[in-house]
Chain A
Amino acid sequence: MTSSSAVAAAKPSRSRPSPARFFWWVVFILGVLYFFLPLLATLLFALRSQPFLSAFTDTLTASDFWSALGYSFVIGIITIVISVVLILPTAFWVRLRVPRARPFVEFITLLPFVIPPVVIVFGLLQMYANKPISLTTAPFGSDLLLIGAYVVLSLPYMYRSIDAGLRTLDILTLTEAAQSMGAGWGRILVQIILPNLRVSLLSGAFLTLAIVVGEYTIASFLARPAFGPFIALIGRNEAYRPAAVAIISFGLTWLAMGVIAVVGRGSRTRIRITGAH
């Protein structure tokens, strides 16, 4: 509906004198240059490595690359699972039973926008790294803090995504119908609500993955062997491989956004694709 009105609105400008359209072309081309020149420069630099493509082959055959990427990927998956398990029932419950708590829940899910990641990790370290708790003495404790911090980062996107999905459902009717046939809460959430929220959940999940896999600030202060700190490390010590890894990292972001676009095609849920830095 909106796209057809945009097309209709665009028509009068087609017949406008060309200076205006020339200006919009200039704006567009400037935008394209800003997008592509850094990518092109990085790619060309990576291709300068000898022998040809060795920056890429070296990267893809090195175990440090795969272990860092694998670590971040696993952390990302755990983050997504915890985030969904935490937020899906909460958003569902707020809509169904405690709508008065909505401003409170929305406020908490907005907080990660207000509190920068560097401040979140500072607070976590001061709270949990010192006596008497000292979580960070064991790798498991640091992993726990990392996952906790990433779930916090995912709150705004996951909550908005899931809540927007729930808005398109008549959850009261669905719930009552399921209950009248004897389903319990777990069954309602997993077998009724979850399948109806595929689009919201997948877009929230891939956005979270895109944010978590490249994240640097929190991972580096918790001294975790994640992908972000790995790129920073080789960026300081090597020449061509960082360029190759930057291109690969861009490709991964692209992949995540592509999945969101494909999944969201034709859906009524408006998906917001933005991340935190």
Chain B
Amino acid sequence: MTAPAQMLVQGAPKARPARRRNLNVLGLAPFVIFAALFLLIPVVFLVVGSLQDAQGNPTLANYGDLSQDFIIDAYVTSIRVSLVTAIAGGLFGFLLAYAVILGGLPSFLRPALMTFSGVASNFAGVPLALAFIFTLGHVGLVTKFLLDSFGIDMYGSGFNLYSEVGIEATYMYFQFPLMVLIMAPAIDGLRQDWREASANLGATPAEYWRHIALPILTPTLLGTMILLFGNSFGAQATAYELAPQVNLVTLVISAQMSGDVLHNVGLGYSLAVGMIAIMAVAIFFYTLLQRRSERWLR
């Protein structure tokens, strides 16, 4: 009885003529045309432009120009800000997710935290920059409170909101909530059986975490941190509003587009392609880690 059924199953795809299949691909045409017009062709335009000089002759000079000190500094600063906020935001977000799920806190705190995280991870740009100015600026709420109540002078001791550290503190506002959102389901995915099995075999909770839970969560942890890295690396509005003088790649490209600094479109192209290259490497590793984490967490 199974044999004819199998033949049917095997025969089914072959029954469809090849010409039909080609026509099926046409169903994707609107999507592909849209992506080409508003995403692919403009990006290809940037890539091609980065390989041409002002007269349209092929050249690698635009990439050579990237070696200028302030451009290298911009990439280094952007990467540093992204690494700091990805690692700090990632660790804090993980601890926070752990606290409400397994930390023994009242269970009603969890949905509250998740809702907050959804809002905060989407709260960025100009309003976020303003909120931090009112909080940690020269006369911000926290700045004044620390000074008046404890005599702690944040600005006197080297802190400055309108600087790299300030940008990092501000980015943290949307970084760690994103970590909470992604880590919570992963922590939920740790099965009770694993904990019980390890306990039955004589493992202490610390050993369970070191040998079982953390290795399973590590790909998700690292993968999400990469996502946070990209989240911060591509951010422009918040930094532009808060501290436009900080040398970030997105701000250098912005200045180039406003046309007041570089006077060299080719350099703008190679800067943009450089950003895409760094993001592509990051997302490549993210995809690898994603695949690893899917093995255990379903």
Contact = CB atoms under 8 A, between A and B. Distances in A.
The yes or no verdict on A and B being binding partners is yes
Interface of A: 2-3, 5-10, 13-14, 16, 20-21, 23-25, 27-28, 30-31, 34-35, 37-42, 44-45, 86-87, 89-90, 93-94, 97-98, 101, 105, 108, 110-128, 145, 148-149, 151-152, 155, 207, 210-211, 214-217, 221, 228, 231-232, 235, 242-243, 245-246, 249-250, 253-254, 256-258, 260-261, 270, 272-277
B173 A6 contact: no
26 contacts: A2-B189, A5-B188, A8-B192, A9-B190, A9-B192, A23-B103, A24-B99, A40-B141, A41-B134, A44-B134, A89-B30, A98-B28, A108-B35, A116-B236, A118-B250, A124-B38, A126-B269, A148-B38, A214-B124, A221-B257, A228-B126, A232-B126, A235-B129, A274-B122, A274-B182, A277-B174
Contact of A38 (B45, B131, B189, B232): B131
A215 B125 contact: yes
Contact of A41 (B122, B142, B173, B178): B142
Given A93-B27, A119-B43, A277-B231, 16 more contacts: A5-B188, A13-B103, A27-B99, A34-B173, A37-B141, A38-B134, A41-B141, A98-B21, A98-B27, A117-B236, A122-B46, A152-B39, A243-B134, A250-B123, A273-B181, A277-B124
B11 interface: no
Given A119-B275, A123-B42, A243-B130, A21 B30 contact: no
B77 interface: no
B43 A254 contact: no
Interface in B195-233: 195, 230-233
3 nearest A-B residue pairs (beta carbon): A116-B234, A123-B42, A24-B103
A115 B191 CA distance: 37
Interface residues of B, number: 97
Given A24-B99, A275-B122, A122 B135 contact: no
Contacts of B49: 126
Interface of B: 21, 24-25, 27-28, 30-32, 34-35, 37-43, 45-46, 49, 92, 95-96, 98-105, 107, 109-110, 113, 115-116, 118-132, 134-135, 140-142, 172-174, 176-178, 181-182, 185, 187-192, 195, 230-238, 240-241, 250, 253-254, 257, 265, 268-269, 272, 275-276, 279-280, 283
Contact of B283 (A5, A113, A242): A113
Given A41-B134, A274-B122, A245 B127 contact: yes
B171 to A, nearest CB: 8
Given A21-B103, A216-B237, A231-B126, A275 B96 contact: no
A42 B131 contact: yes
Given A2-B188, A94-B28, A16 B173 contact: no
Nearest to A101: B28
A275 B101 contact: no
B34 A98 contact: no
A151 B38 contact: yes
A13 B236 CA distance: 42
Contacts of A242: 130
A274 B188 CA distance: 19
Contact of A114 (B28, B141, B280): B280
Given A108-B39, A119-B253, A31 B113 contact: yes
A253 B123 contact: yes
Contact of A275 (B121, B127, B253): B121
Nearest to B188: A2
A125 B30 CA distance: 22
A244 B104 CA distance: 37
A189 B178 CA distance: 33
Nearest to B193: A5
Contacts of A257: 115, 118-119, 122
A253 B119 contact: yes
A114 B135 contact: no
A7 B230 CA distance: 33
Contacts of A8: 192
Contacts of B280: 114
A252 to B, nearest CB: 10
Given A97-B24, A108-B39, A5 B192 contact: yes
